[in-house]
Amino acid sequence: MSDPHPRVREVTSLSNPTVKALRALHDRKGRRESGLFLAEGARNAIEALDAGRAPEILVYHREGRGRDVVVRLRAATLASGGECLEVDEDVLAKIARKDNPQSVVAAYRWTRRPLSEIDPGRARVFVALDRVRDPGNLGTIVRTADAVGAGGVILVGETCDPASVEAVRASMGSIFAVPVFEGTLSDFQALASRWPGAIVGTALHATDHYRRTNAPSPILLVMGNEQAGISPEIASTCTHLVRIPMKGRADSLNLAIATAVALYGLAEPDDAAP
């Protein structure tokens, strides 16, 4: 039997307009036009809820409507004015654009944050990414930034979309916990000019070891583009330039791996802290 709430609808038609609108969120254009993005899976939705974010649209397999997690998510969605769709496997697969989809998919409003909103005093470390291209790298970095307690991830210049399904998936729910700021090169230069601590750039040609910088907090760790590294304009704002030593044949580390190594080297969280 269907839930009687007016904002809970059972949908079985693949051509339903809301199903089409949700499907469009796989494309950057669709996300820009609606301001929404998709997160897959009950786990992500619960992480979001714990971070104070309820879905604008919650979709779940109708056979799972009695599951505790679905009951909790549906109550939160309705309480915040959102709508719920009870669907079958085919509709879920159509929205998720894949076979064997997760039984919960949710759409959230993306909050675009300018660099002027950054408060450097909020955390010991922040991460800035110069023209990051790969959404998997970006999501993984958001997850690592969350793990070290970073104050935010700052995207500079033309970047991949932090709200893409791939980036959100790779963040494993951390996209709801870590603020992502987006700005231009000149926005970054303005931030750098008011930064009270160290701006630590990472570069293959740097001579300083990443664990021997004595960089004062708050640290703004700057990582370069996957192909081109850090631009000369951004490098010139750095108070420190560091390298991660490498032996063997690899000419560089993957961006997300290098970010994790540098973040832990510069700002490992205190194990004793709660």
One residue of 244, 260, 266, 267 binding ligand SAM per CB under 6 A: 244
Distance separating alpha carbons of residues 168 and 246, to the nearest angstrom = 30
User: What does DSSP assign to residue 225?
Assistant: B
What residues have CB less than 8 Å from 182, skipping those under 6 apart?
Answer: 112, 113, 114, 115, 154, 155, 159, 162
Q: How many residues does the chain have?
A: 274
The answer to whether residue 219 forms part of the interface with ligand SAM (CB under 6 A) is: no
Pick the piece of the chain touching ligand SAM (CB under 6 A) from 20-28, 169-177, 179-187, 249-257. Answer: 249-257
Nearer to ligand SAM, 115 or 255 (CB): 255
Judged by DSSP in three states, 222 sits in strand
Nearer to ligand SAM, 106 or 238 (CB): 238
One residue of 159, 164, 171, 202 binding ligand SAM per CB under 6 A: 202
- Cβ 31 vs Cβ 37: under 8 Å: yes
How many residues bind ligand SAM, per CB under 6 A?
A: 16
- Cβ 135 vs Cβ 170: under 8 Å: yes
Could you tell me the strand order of the sheet in which 8-11 lies?
Answer: 8-11, 83-87, 57-61, 104-109, 36-40
The answer to whether residue 239 forms part of the interface with ligand SAM (CB under 6 A) is: no
The answer to whether residue 230 forms part of the interface with ligand SAM (CB under 6 A) is: yes
The answer to whether residue 243 forms part of the interface with ligand SAM (CB under 6 A) is: yes
One residue of 226, 233, 264, 269 binding ligand SAM per CB under 6 A: 226
The answer to whether residue 173 forms part of the interface with ligand SAM (CB under 6 A) is: no
Chain residues binding ligand SAM by CB under 6 A are 202-204, 223-224, 226-227, 229-230, 243-244, 246, 252-253, 255, 258
